[in-house]
Structure formats: C-alpha cells, structure tokens
Amino acid sequence: MSSLRALCNRSRIVPWSVKRRWLSEIAGDEDYFTLLGARYGFSVDEDQLYQEHKKLMKSWHPDRFADDAKAQERALSMASMINSAYSTLCKPHLRARYILEVEGIPLKEDEDAPVDDMEFLGFVMSVREALENEPKERDLEDLKSQINELSNESVQQAEAALSQIKSDPEMKEVVRKQASKLQYLHRISEEIHKLTQVT
C-alpha cells in the first residue's frame, strides 16, 4: 500500500478524491457520476463531463506510470473505468439505463416504449411511416428536431420523478417509463442517422 500512496503523491494533478477511491480498489465502490464529478441525475452538464473525462484521462494515462509495472496496470484499469463512465453518462439513453440499474429498476433488453402513452405511440407510428416513404433531408432534420425535443422532455420528467423516488416509491414507474422512451427515441435517431448518411 505504501508504494501506491507514493505513486499517488507523484501524480500531483490527480484530485485527492480520485486518489482515495483508487486506493480503495480502483473506485470499485463509486458510481460513474461520482467518478466524473457529476451530479447524480438524468440531466448532466455535458461540457463539464467532457472536461472532467479529459482531465482524468490525462491524469491516469498509463505512460505516466511507465517506471512501475504494477502501477501502470492499475492506471490501465482506472483509464478503462473512466472511459466506461464517460461513454455511459454522455448519452441520455445510456445514462437513463445506468440510473435504473443503480435504482434497482433495470430495463429488460427487449423492453419497448410504454404502451399506455398513446400520444407517444402515435408519434412513433407517424415517424415510422415517414421513414418508410423515403423522406428528404429537410424532413429528416425536422424529425431529428422533434425527437430531440421529446428526449429533453423525457429527461426533465425523469429528473423530476427521480428527485421524489425516496419519498414516493411509485415514482420509480415514472422514471422507468421515461427511460424506456429514451431507449426508443435513441433507436429512431439511429435509423434517421443512417438515412442521413445515405441522402
């Protein structure tokens, strides 16, 4: 352990909170939000997240520990965890899925959009129809804009419900439904992206 402490002391630009977590088995007891210094929730400051990721990756770059094989191996583990945390939290649908896991209400892999939200299902059907009719680039941009708007609404509603989960367990279902919508909207966005690449 003393060699790890010495290593952490040499790595001056690594924040002590990260050093302490690293000393407790590479942040194994920390969630992704804490690791990246982000507030736990569906809404995150994406610029701040990016900057923190960049800073931590610089701090834990394995080349900085080239003179110590054991330390370099641990730095590789830390860098891998930082990348995993960032790639999860920087995308709303993955962030939502991660929060559900943390809250103990995971989505099933094949879980679809909430069937009791008829307005949402109507929108999805209209988008599907539009995508089947070889939409023009301008139509695709309009669809992307609508999907972004719906995604933002789902994030806000999920965020509001998450803040009430401890006092009202029924809010878990609201969070799950909004997270499910985000998964569905992401799949549609991917389809639109592919069509955009073709046109």
pLDDT, tens digit (0-9, with 9 covering 90-100), for 137-150: 898 999 999 999 99
Residue 136 pLDDT > 60: yes
pLDDT band at 135 (very low <50, low <70, confident <90, very high): confident
Report the interhelical angle of 137-162 vs 118-132 (nearest 10°). Answer: 160
pLDDT band at 189 (very low <50, low <70, confident <90, very high): very high
Q: Mean pLDDT over residues 75-101, rounded? A: 92
**Are the CB atoms for 62 and 79 separated by under 8 Å?**
yes
The reported pTM is 0.78
Residue 113 pLDDT > 60: no
Q: What Rg value do the Cα atoms of the chain yield, rounded?
A: 21
- Convert the pLDDT of each residue in 33-51 to its tens digit: 999 999 999 999 999 999 9
Residue 10 pLDDT > 90: no
Confidence (pLDDT) at 158: 95
Confidence (pLDDT) at 110: 59
Non-local (6+) Cβ contacts of 28 within 8 A are none
- Percentage of the chain modeled with pLDDT above 70: 80
Positive or negative CA dihedral for 79, 5, 29, 59?
A: negative
DSSP 89-153: HTSHHHHHHHHHHHHT-PPPTT--S-TT-HHHHHHHHHHHHHHHT---HHHHHHHHHHHHHHHHH
DSSP 8-state code for residue 105: -
Confidence (pLDDT) at 7: 40
Confidence (pLDDT) at 160: 95
